[in-house]
Amino acid sequence: MEKKIISFIDELKSNKKLSTFDEASTKQAIVMRLLSFLEWDIFDVEEVYPDYSANSSNVSYALRIKNANKVFIEVKRAYSKLDNYQKPLVNLASREDVNLAVLTNGITWWFYLISANGSWQRKWFYSIDLIKQKADTFVPNLMDLLTKSKVAKGQSLKAAKSLFQRKRQKLAANFLPEAWNQIISQPNKIFVELLSEHTEKLCRYKVDTKSIQKFLDKHMDKWLLKNVARTGAAPPSATMATDVLDLEDDPAPVKPKVSPKIEPADTNQSFADMSIRSFRFNGNNYPVHAWDEVLKTICEYFATSHSKDFEKVLWITDAQKACFSRYSDQLRIPEKIKRTDIFVETKMTPDEVVKTAKKLLEEFGYDPNELSIDAR
């Protein structure tokens, strides 16, 4: 079975007509052939149930064992964007008590463990790209997840749970350096008390909070981990270059309100303890009342003017903390960016806001020096 699947995938990689496949061609030439290799009788509509419908919703295929739905597969045309089809598929599978769901355009395959706790975004656990990845790196997992005999015996669900757990542990491990940096750079009461107690045990004198903070500040640079950047936190669309978030068709960029010209401050200076009045970018002046509005306004601008690749912001990080995420609980005070499913961190110092704003400009091909600040 494995050799047949790998051979079939090698054929796909050399097929120059793939990009012309519509949904029907994708189903027939890719999905159905793969299912046949995975022991499914594609000619038995009670086993591979096409266009399964329930409560005014439908899915391309329901894989069934003894008339019971086990796996839902939603198919779209080759290379099409998949983002907007995730939630409907997961919700339908959840309503129908189907534990495993798959969303695919024939090339990219996203797997969801429906029984996992949390929102629909949390249920994704595995991605495959038939063209970009080496077949021998994912075919064994594909077989574990979708082979008919393994689905029938419950082994498929066990494999899904195992992959889900591995993904979750890897994600958690990716956050360890950031968690360490936050503890060191922003020590909470428990950490300070622990340090104070251990100091008292050694010398029998209690050290005050001010002395502890002074000690931490003095040695901060030695303890902070450098170049901390998380990986694996983003959902499938951020890990597959062929699928980019595109919630609207070429929306018009937001036109900023123009106010009188001002003499801006040098953005290389420190803005600590200063109040912002406005900022200038791309030839326009933006009046604002708080520092967090700077990032939110710039993000909304790029979300409309660069909608097709706006998700690039997910890779903008600070040495100590995430700046953007699709999951609100990964940020301290998140705010959702309009027309996207991405959140921006709003708990930042003025200097952090300016630094992140400059990174945004660079990411989308603008000169960071185009940003100027009016603060007092």
Grade residue 227 by pLDDT with cuts at 50, 70 and 90.
low
Residue 236 in this model has a pLDDT that exceeds 60: no
Least confident of 32-41, 271-280, 316-325: 316-325
Q: Mind listing the pLDDT tens digit for each residue in 238-254? A: 333 333 322 233 333 34
Is residue 37 a contact partner of residue 23, using CB atoms and an 8 Å limit? no
The residue ranking higher by pLDDT, 189 or 21, is 21
User: Tens digit of pLDDT for each residue in 85-109?
Assistant: 988 999 999 999 999 999 999 999 9
CB of 352 closer than 8 Å to CB of 367: no
232 pLDDT higher than 50: no
pLDDT level of residue 25 (50, 70, 90 thresholds): very high
**pLDDT beyond 90 at 27:** yes
Statement: residue 187 has pLDDT above 80: no
Average pLDDT for residues 99-126, to the nearest whole number? 89
pLDDT band at 256; cut points 50, 70, 90: very low
Lowest mean pLDDT among 6-10, 16-20, 127-131, 173-177: 173-177
Q: Is the pLDDT of residue 147 over 90?
A: yes
Q: What angle do CA 85, 98, 79 make, to 5 degrees?
A: 30
Residue by residue, DSSP assigns 13-77 as: HT-TTGGG--HHHHIIIIIHHHHHHTT--TT-TTTEEEEEEETTEEEEEEEEETTEEEEEEEE-S
State the average pLDDT over residues 280-294: 89
Whether the pLDDT of residue 224 is over 60: the answer is: yes
Domains and CATH numbers, the chain: 2-163 (3.90.1570), 175-223 (no CATH), 244-375 (1.20.1380)
Of 114, 109, 44, 48, the closest CA to residue 76 belongs to 109
Q: Please name the residue that has the structure tokens 């339908």.
A: 92
Mean pLDDT of 355-367: 89
Structure tokens at 369: 């020096």
Mean pLDDT, rounded, for 329-354: 87
> In angstroms, how far is CA 26 from the centroid of its own chain?
26
Per-residue confidence at 38, pLDDT binned at 50, 70, 90?
very high
Question: Rounded distance, CA 23 to CA 15, Å?
Answer: 16
Interatomic CA distance for residues 196 and 203, integer angstroms: 11
- Asked if residues 157 and 65 have their Cβ atoms less than 8 Å apart, the reply is no
Is pLDDT above 60 for 205?
yes
pLDDT digits (tens, 9 = 90+) for 42-85: 999 999 999 999 888 899 999 999 999 999 999 999 988 888 89
H or E segment to which residue 336 belongs? strand 334-336
The whole-model pTM stands at: 0.54
Pair of tokens at residue 372:
């100027």
Does the pLDDT of residue 138 top 60, yes or no? yes
Mean of pLDDT over the chain: 82
Please give the single-letter amino acid code of residue 10. D
Angle ∠(85,86,87) on CA atoms, nearest 5: 100
Q: What is the mean pLDDT of residues 156-169?
A: 85
For residue 234, pLDDT over 50 is answered with no
pLDDT band with cut points at 50, 70 and 90 for residue 19 = confident
